[in-house]
């Protein structure tokens, strides 16, 4: 029974490592993107608002994300533990999360800017289930299709060099402060995300003492 938050810069492999850890620990992986897609698919009032915001290429507001997270982490199926990926995005969201549940461990996947640019430039994403692949580091076994659902993979519009640079600026301004926030709470574990997927997974497993 463990509740984990996983964060780091774009391209650090958060989704990949969260999926792997979820299977090993047998606890749910809660990725932000999937939660938003489910809210939109359910056509709730909040989902409709979220859809409009995302279609404009903007970020979902803190209160909207908090509302979705509150319902999710308090649901019965998540009471035995989970891995949060993509939330909290900033200290304000982290403070809100603290009011909902007690986080046991926070994994910070650290990756240099140069490596981030290199990884994101070759990234391919499934528009249906959200699975992420890479042309070099994590290619799909099916070639240009998703290994999970068979949908044709796409290059995200925000994976251009200019868009990546902008997102990194936003990350450093909004999300990087989470490092200090969780360090002070004594739950932060820093992981070198530069090695290959298998090695990073091993580092995470050892750091958790499992």
**Of 116 and 202, which is predicted with more confidence?**
202
> Per the domain annotation, does 147 fall within a domain?
no
> Per the domain annotation, does 167 fall within a domain?
no
The mean pLDDT of 74-103, rounded to a whole number, is 92
> Per the domain annotation, does 151 fall within a domain?
no
Q: What is the pLDDT of residue 57?
A: 67
CA distance 108 to 207: 11
Q: Is the pLDDT of residue 43 over 90?
A: no
Domain that holds residue 46: 2-111+175-207
Q: What is the pLDDT of residue 135?
A: 85
CA distance 125 to 15: 11
In degrees, to the nearest 5, what angle opens at C-alpha 74 toward C-alphas 72 and 208?
85
pLDDT digits (tens, 9 = 90+) for 119-142: 877 888 898 888 888 888 789 998
Q: What is the domain-level CATH number for residue 88?
A: 3.40.50.300
Residue of 24, 70, 89, 185 marked catalytic: 89
Quote the pTM value.
0.80
> Per the domain annotation, does 138 fall within a domain?
no
For the purposes of burial, counting CB atoms within 10 Å of the CB of 156, is it exposed (0-12), middle (13-18) or buried (19 or more)? middle
> Per the domain annotation, does 89 fall within a domain?
yes
- Looking at 115-119, 154-158, 185-189, which range is the least confident one? 154-158
**Of 91 and 58, which is predicted with more confidence?**
91
Residue of 70, 118, 128, 156 marked catalytic: 156
Q: Is the pLDDT of residue 55 over 70?
A: yes
Q: For the chain, what is the domain count?
A: 1
**Of 72 and 151, which is predicted with more confidence?**
151
> Per the domain annotation, does 92 fall within a domain?
yes
What share of the chain has pLDDT > 90, as a percent?
Answer: 45
Q: Please indicate whether residue 89 is annotated as part of the active site.
A: yes
Q: Please indicate whether residue 14 is annotated as part of the active site.
A: yes
> Per the domain annotation, does 58 fall within a domain?
yes
Q: Please indicate whether residue 148 is annotated as part of the active site.
A: no
> Per the domain annotation, does 38 fall within a domain?
yes
- Whether the Cβ atoms of residue 180 and residue 174 lie closer than 8 Å to each other: no
Q: What is the pLDDT of residue 204?
A: 96
Residue of 3, 14, 72, 119 marked catalytic: 14
Average pLDDT, the chain: 88
Ramachandran sector of residue 110 (left: φ over 0; alpha: ψ -120 to 50; beta: rest): beta
User: How does residue 201 score in pLDDT terms, banded at 50, 70 and 90?
Assistant: very high
Peptide bond into 132 cis (omega under 30): no
- Looking at 8-22, 40-54, 166-180, which range is the least confident one? 40-54
Long-range CB contacts for residues 59-66, cutoff 8 Å, separation at least 24: 59/89, 59/170, 60/36, 62/89, 62/90, 62/92, 62/93, 62/96, 65/32, 65/89, 65/93, 66/93, 66/96
Residue of 72, 141, 167, 184 marked catalytic: 167
Residue of 3, 20, 37, 123 marked catalytic: 123
Q: Please indicate whether residue 128 is annotated as part of the active site.
A: no
């Amino acid at each position: 029974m463990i509740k984990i938050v996983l964060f780091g810069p774009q391209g650090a492999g958060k989704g990949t490592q969260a999926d792997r850890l979820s299977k090993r620990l047998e606890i749910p992986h809660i990725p932000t993107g999937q939660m938003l897609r489910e809210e939109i698919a359910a056509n709730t009032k909040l989902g409709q608002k979220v859809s409009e915001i995302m279609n404009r290429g903007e970020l979902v507001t803190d209160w909207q994300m908090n509302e979705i997270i509150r319902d999710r982490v308090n649901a019965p199926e998540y009471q035995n533990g989970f891995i949060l990926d993509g939330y909290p995005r900033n200290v304000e969201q982290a403070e809100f999360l603290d009011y909902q549940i007690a986080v046991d461990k926070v994994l910070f996947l650290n990756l240099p800017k140069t490596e981030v640019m290199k990884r994101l430039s070759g990234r391919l994403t499934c528009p249906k289930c959200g699975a992420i692949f890479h042309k070099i580091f994590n290619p799909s076994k099916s070639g240009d299709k998703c290994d999970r659902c068979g949908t044709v993979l796409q290059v995200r519009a925000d994976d251009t060099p200019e868009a990546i640079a902008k997102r990194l600026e936003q990350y450093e301004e909004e999300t990087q402060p989470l490092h200090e926030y969780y360090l002070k709470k004594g739950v932060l574990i820093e992981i070198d995300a530069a090695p290959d997927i298998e090695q990073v997974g091993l580092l995470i497993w050892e750091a958790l003492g499992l």
